[in-house]
Structure 1
Amino acid sequence: MTKISEEQQQHILIDDEIEKSPESLDLSASEKKLKLKKIYHFFVIEALKKRIELSKLLSQEKKAKEDELTMIRYGKKFKCSICQK
């Protein structure tokens, strides 16, 4: 069996949610909000973290600093509850 990365697992879970029948999508508002936050977190916050790491690896300190500022803006201004510990 091939090992599936965490990112691939997230994509599979999201695809599964999209393919569910409308009857199974009858969720409460709080459950929907939490699912949206998780999707937001994965696609925005995690992508920014990867960009910061790559920028640092490529010695692009200026770009890394810009990405860190963007991360702060997304992480604190919008108060991503998944990032907060």
Structure 2
Amino acid sequence: MDEDSRKVTEEVWLICPNSTEVRRFTKNKNNKDKFFEYMFVDSGIIIGVLGAKPPLMKTRKEIKIEAARKEYQQLIISGWQVTIPKW
């Protein structure tokens, strides 16, 4: 695991290469599982002019933190970039 994927610990936002979709990775701080940590991965689409309105949230999933780090790394490799919070 490289340094970038270890950064996915509290909250990070990514935007896709053509600026039409964002993902927010957020640690589930209310997790009741004593063995695994989980993250929420929210996906949203950009509507209107970029930045004029917040993205429309389409999906939310809860996954183990290691799976979230792998997904984050795959997105970075495919051209997604860290961005500022969008909503």
Normalising by structure 2, we get a TM-score of: 0.27
Using CA pairs below 8 Å that are at least 6 residues apart, which structure has the higher relative contact order?
2
Normalising by structure 1, we get a TM-score of: 0.27
Which structure has greater strand proportion?
Answer: 2
Which structure has greater helix proportion?
Answer: 1
